[in-house]
Amino acid sequence: MVAQETEALAELRSEIALNGFACSIVPHVEGLAEEVITHRPDLLLFEVGGNLSVSDIQEFVQGMKGARRLPVIALLPGDTLDSLNGNLDIDDFITSPYDVHELVLRARRVLSRARNIDGGELIKCDGLVIDLAKCEVNLEGEIVELTFKEYELLKFLASHRGRVYSREALLNKVWGYDYYGGDRTVDVHVRRLRSKIEDAKHTFIETVRNIGYRFKA
């Protein structure tokens, strides 16, 4: 956990420990990468405030690309919500005052989603299997034929289950920052994906009104 040591934080850490989690405190992001390598945590918690800003979190998370990607939860003061955007690459957040039971539930949910990526090779959800090694998608045992971008979009959303992404964020993440097409491209690919992997029994990609899309949690 990246946060400033306070009496309230000590109590929060004790409550977290009572719920079966070991929790270490690091006061700032400097040196955090070394701590991650040494202690190999399953989850990172960032408490925004004091010396830690939302942009600090984003910078650190971007630095993890190509390395072991850890689930991230941000603990936010209510007045920082306006600073969030669809490009912030975190798995969940909770606003103060923090309810420890809610925090534990969110942590368990995020960890469960992360562990559902089987050894980094398979992503599974309700009969849908994405084989990352083979770049192959199966639905109820049948191979689904996807274009390259359809596959990349599905893989990205399924790797971040429950997290909402704006169309702009998806363009940046899947198509790249040098892509000059409009966000209508995302809608078209989502529609095509749904036609191939969804039916009356299967719904995977959810539309979040006025924001974008998410893969169901």
Domain residue ranges in the chain: 7-115, 120-215
For residues 121 and 119, give the distance between their C-alpha atoms in angstroms, rounded to a whole number: 5
User: What is the fold of 120-215?
Assistant: Arc Repressor Mutant, subunit A (1.10.10)
CATH class of 7-115: alpha beta
| Mean pLDDT score, 142-154 | 91
What was the pLDDT predicted at 68?
Answer: 53
| Mean pLDDT score, 87-101 | 78
Q: Answer with the residue of higher pLDDT: 176 or 73.
A: 73
User: pTM surpassing 0.85?
Assistant: no
Dihedral over Cα of 43, 49, 53, 54: its sign:
positive
Does residue 215 surpass a pLDDT of 90?
yes
* Tens-place pLDDT, residues 30-50: 878 888 877 788 888 888 887
Lowest mean per-residue pLDDT among 8-12, 79-83, 160-164, 182-186: 79-83
Q: What rounded mean pLDDT belongs to the chain?
A: 82
For residues 206 and 194, give the distance between their C-alpha atoms in angstroms, rounded to a whole number: 10
Does residue 66 surpass a pLDDT of 50?
no
